[in-house]
């Protein structure tokens, strides 16, 4: 009895810890059970590469949405990643302390803005701007890419900055001592050495862009069609679920769950890749430390 | 080993260095002679590494550092307002305490300086690689393995690769910041031999914890210690043989005979 009492806290914490893991198992299991049948019914090929999504006609092809997701996320990465990496270089290498003291919390705040606010702001400012100056309906791949680029900035900046700051300072000193300029030192020695962390930052940022729903629903147009330019509206995998879940029943609902499976797998692969890259980078650095 | 008749390469004039408000080096004056090895010795925290880093202005990297006084290299003040630090560092190479090879091949490590200082032709770079690796006694072992990762070398070899990397820039002065402290005795011996060899052509300044090392390789020795106000002072600076045989200052004597630190 005494022993049980002594171990009690451990058991309670184990139980609580299990509940979070079991949530993962429950959700995964549920999505698979509900979504898998339709994939087998329609066939994986027709589901993933089908061009037509028309639940009323029982046509469930999500290829345009896969393209939509890829286009929007790629656009977000193209805009957000260079800005994010430059920002992290600025913060870790160039910014005087008082600037860092303002920038860092500000960037954290950027991560705290609710996505519906991003979407609303995009709808009021970005969408009309694109419509008036670039053409098209405004609700478009470009609009979503811009908003998502801003939304992934905190992830890209903070993870790249951490990986730059984690570099052994001997690298920087060694390069400077050879008469390289500060920028040469960053470009030739520091960025390559921090590569694994920066790549992970980019992947996690893209993962965030793929998974984002609310802001995207509001500005991407949601038309189920193959886009011809970045000014065209598209529908993404997430917005497909977000828009139709309210009224979908039966097979239609299963098709949405199946969309969820596809999303789930893509994001899992991205996260696992990022984890792997980070840990292999750490290992390589650990080996160096052992040696030196 | 006395070589005091040599030409003065560097003149340190009344240098005072502050980290924020703490006074780390006080009124340092010294002449460093050309083609000689000057050893900087003293207990931990006496400012000897800070002193060494004055010559390639590495202390500039530390926020809040203030340096007063002059250091004349070939007669020119390297702390003048218009000094271009990047050019200075091409003249004053440095080898650090731990081998800090970059995660790239042996060859890329050696050519990183000259390549980015404007030597682009492969033949020219090949010549630099061979010359620098020969000077660092690495050529014979690695001439067929130049594309091996630098980090796969042993610590002693890595440190010699750091020397080669510094030599590739063709400096006039080489600073060694306790560069043997992480190495085994045999690697240490090889680096000491290298230092002696290199001192024929270069001016060398080393910081070392190891009294025997200072006695073995250096021509001049500078003994640093903090005074009662915790300010790093140059207590005694003389030809190594003299200083070790009969130290003038009581503190020097205590230190080199092992009664201190």
Q: What is the DSSP letter of B105?
A: B
Number of structural domains in chain B:
1
pLDDT score of A3 more than 50: yes
**SS3 of A3, please?**
helix
pLDDT score of B25 more than 70: yes
Measuring CA to CA, how many Å separate B252 from each of B23, B248, B256? 22, 7, 6
B103 reaches A (C-beta below 8 A): yes
Which fold, A59-291? MetI-like fold (1.10.3720)
Contact B116 A168 (CB under 8 A): no
Cα A50 from Cα A259, distance rounded (Å): 13
pLDDT (mean) for A263-271: 89
Domain assignment present for B261: no
Per the CB < 8 A criterion, the answer to whether A209 and A72 are in contact is: yes
pLDDT band, very low/low/confident/very high, at A279 (cuts 50, 70, 90): confident
Angle CA B89–B90–B91, to nearest 5: 85
Domain assignment present for B220: yes
pLDDT cut 90: percent of chain B above it = 80
> So what's the pLDDT on residue A277?
84
Residues on A contacting B at a C-beta cutoff of 8 Å? 97, 168, 170-181, 184, 188-189, 192-193, 284, 287-288, 291-292
pLDDT band, very low/low/confident/very high, at B5 (cuts 50, 70, 90): low
Per the CB < 8 A criterion, the answer to whether A65 and A217 are in contact is: no
pLDDT (mean) for A233-239: 95
Q: Burial level of B81, CB count in 10 A (0-12/13-18/19+)?
A: exposed
> So what's the pLDDT on residue B257?
84
Give the length of chain B. Answer: 261
How is the beta sheet containing B37-41 ordered, strand by strand? Answer: B76-77, B65-73, B8-19, B22-33, B232-239, B220-226, B37-41, B203-207, B173-177, B92-95
Q: In B187-220, which positions are buried (b, 16+ CB within 10 angstroms) versus exposed (e)?
A: bbebbbebbeebbeebbbbbbbebbebbbbbbbb
Measuring CA to CA, how many Å separate A94 from each of A85, A161, B19? 13, 12, 20
Helix then strand count (H, E) for chain A reads 14, 2
> So what's the pLDDT on residue B1?
47
Give the length of chain A. Answer: 292
pLDDT cut 70: percent of chain A above it = 96
Cα A231 from Cα A137, distance rounded (Å): 7
Q: What are the backbone dihedrals phi and psi of residue A75, each rounded to the nearest 5 degrees, phi first?
A: -60, -45
Q: What are the backbone dihedrals phi and psi of residue A80, each rounded to the nearest 5 degrees, phi first?
A: -75, -35
Per the CB < 8 A criterion, the answer to whether B223 and B236 are in contact is: yes
More confidently predicted of A158 and B260? A158
Contact B89 A179 (CB under 8 A): yes
**SS3 of B90, please?**
helix
Strand partners, B189: none
Cα end-to-end span (Å), chain B: 27
Cα B205 from Cα A63, distance rounded (Å): 68
Q: Which residues of A are less than 8 Å from B182 in CB distance? A: 292
Q: What is the DSSP letter of B259?
A: S
Contact A189 B102 (CB under 8 A): yes
pLDDT score of B2 more than 60: no
> So what's the pLDDT on residue B258?
79
> So what's the pLDDT on residue A41?
87
CATH number at residue B96: 3.40.50.300
Cα B202 from Cα B91, distance rounded (Å): 10
pLDDT score of B233 more than 90: yes
- For the stretch A16-43, pLDDT in tens is 999 999 999 999 999 999 999 998 888 8
Strand pairing report for B37-41 and B220-226: parallel
- ipTM for the assembly: 0.91
pLDDT score of A283 more than 70: no
Q: What is the mean pLDDT of chain A?
A: 91
Cα B85 from Cα A96, distance rounded (Å): 20
- For the stretch A126-179, pLDDT in tens is 999 999 999 889 999 999 999 999 999 999 999 999 999 999 889 999 999 999
pLDDT score of A81 more than 60: yes
Domain assignment present for B3: no
Structure tokens at B223: 């003994």
Domain assignment present for B125: yes
Could you list the residue range(s) of the whole structural domain that residue B192 is in?
8-256
Measuring CA to CA, how many Å separate B165 from each of A134, A249, B55, B261? 53, 69, 18, 34
Domain assignment present for B189: yes
Structure tokens at A7: 């171990």
Q: Which residues of A are less than 8 Å from B89 in CB distance? A: 176-179
> So what's the pLDDT on residue A292?
41
> So what's the pLDDT on residue A2?
77
Measuring CA to CA, how many Å separate A181 from each of A38, A197, B99, B109? 60, 23, 21, 16
Of A174, A180, A284, nearest to B116 by CB-CB distance is A180
Measuring CA to CA, how many Å separate A193 from each of A285, B123, B146? 9, 28, 20
> So what's the pLDDT on residue A282?
67
**SS3 of A244, please?**
helix
Q: What are the backbone dihedrals phi and psi of residue B201, each rounded to the nearest 5 degrees, phi first?
A: -110, -30
- For the stretch B122-180, pLDDT in tens is 999 999 999 999 999 999 999 999 999 999 999 999 999 999 999 999 999 999 999 99
Q: Helices marked H in chain B — which ranges?
A: 48-52, 85-91, 106-116, 122-135, 139-142, 155-168, 185-198, 211-217, 240-245, 250-256
Query: Which pTM value belongs to this model?
Result: 0.84
> So what's the pLDDT on residue A287?
53
Domain assignment present for B1: no
Q: What is the DSSP letter of B152?
A: G
Per the CB < 8 A criterion, the answer to whether B254 and B79 are in contact is: no
pLDDT (mean) for B107-129: 93
pLDDT score of B90 more than 50: yes
B61 reaches A (C-beta below 8 A): yes
Angle CA A58–A60–A63, to nearest 5: 155
Of A173, A178, A188, nearest to B165 by CB-CB distance is A178
> So what's the pLDDT on residue A101?
94
Structure tokens at B239: 């030809």
Cα A76 from Cα B66, distance rounded (Å): 45
pLDDT band, very low/low/confident/very high, at A291 (cuts 50, 70, 90): very low
- For the stretch B170-222, pLDDT in tens is 999 999 999 998 889 988 999 999 999 999 999 999 999 888 899 999 999 99
Q: Which residues of B are less than 8 Å from A185 in CB distance? A: none
């Amino acid at each position: 009895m005494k022993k049980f009492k002594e171990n009690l806290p451990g058991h309670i914490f184990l139980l609580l810890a299990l509940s979070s893991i079991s949530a993962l198992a429950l959700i995964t299991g549920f999505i698979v059970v509900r979504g898998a049948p339709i994939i087998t019914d329609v066939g994986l090929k027709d589901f993933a590469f089908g061009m037509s999504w028309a639940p009323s006609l029982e046509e469930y092809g999500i290829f345009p949405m896969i393209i939509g997701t890829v286009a929007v996320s790629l656009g977000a990465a193209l805009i957000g990643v260079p800005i994010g990496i430059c920002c992290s270089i600025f913060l870790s290498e160039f910014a005087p302390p008082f600037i860092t003291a303002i920038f860092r919390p500000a960037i954290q705040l950027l991560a705290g803005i609710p996505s519906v606010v991003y979407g609303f702001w995009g709808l009021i400012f970005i969408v009309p701007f694109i419509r008036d100056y670039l053409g098209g309906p405004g609700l478009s791949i470009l609009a979503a890419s811009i908003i998502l680029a801003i939304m992934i900035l905190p992830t890209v900046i903070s993870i790249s900055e951490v990986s730059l700051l984690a570099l052994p300072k001997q690298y920087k000193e060694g390069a400077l001592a050879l008469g390289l300029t500060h920028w040469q030192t960053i470009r030739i020695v520091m960025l390559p050495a921090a590569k694994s962390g920066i790549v992970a930052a980019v992947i996690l940022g893209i993962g965030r862009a793929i998974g984002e729903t609310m802001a995207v629903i509001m500005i991407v147009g949601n038309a189920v069609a193959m886009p011809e330019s970045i000014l065209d509206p598209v529908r993404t995998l997430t917005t497909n679920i977000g828009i139709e879940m309210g009224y979908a029943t039966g097979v239609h609902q299963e098709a949405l769950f199946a969309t969820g499976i596809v999303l789930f797998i893509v994001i899992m692969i991205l996260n696992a890749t990022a984890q792997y890259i980070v840990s292999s980078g750490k290992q390589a650095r650990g080996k160096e430390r052992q040696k030196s | 080993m006395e070589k005091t008749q040599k030409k003065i390469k560097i003149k340190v004039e009344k240098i005072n260095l502050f980290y924020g408000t703490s006074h780390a080096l006080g009124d340092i004056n010294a002449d460093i002679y050309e083609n000689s090895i000057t050893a900087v010795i003293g207990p931990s925290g006496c400012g000897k590494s800070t002193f060494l880093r004055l010559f390639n202005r590495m202390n500039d990297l530390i926020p809040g550092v203030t340096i007063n006084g002059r250091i004349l290299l070939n007669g020119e003040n390297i702390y003048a307002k218009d000094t271009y630090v990047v050019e200075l560092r091409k003249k004053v190479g440095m080898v650090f305490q731990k081998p800090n090879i970059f995660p790239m091949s042996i060859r890329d490590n050696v050519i990183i300086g000259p390549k980015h200082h404007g030597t682009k032709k492969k033949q020219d770079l090949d010549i630099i690689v061979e010359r620098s690796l020969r000077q660092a006694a690495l050529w014979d072992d690695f001439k067929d393995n130049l594309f091996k990762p630098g980090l796969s070398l042993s610590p002693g070899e890595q440190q010699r690769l750091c020397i080669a990397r510094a030599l590739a820039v063709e400096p006039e002065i080489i600073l060694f910041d306790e560069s043997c402290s992480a190495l085994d005795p045999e690697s240490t011996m090889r680096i000491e031999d290298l230092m002696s060899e290199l001192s024929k052509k270069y001016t060398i300044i080393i910081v070392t914890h190891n009294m025997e090392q200072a006695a073995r390789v250096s021509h001049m020795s500078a003994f640093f210690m903090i005074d009662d106000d915790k300010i790093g002072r140059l207590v005694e600076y003389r030809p190594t043989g003299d200083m070790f045989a009969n130290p003038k200052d009581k503190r020097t004597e205590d230190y080199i005979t092992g009664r201190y630190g």
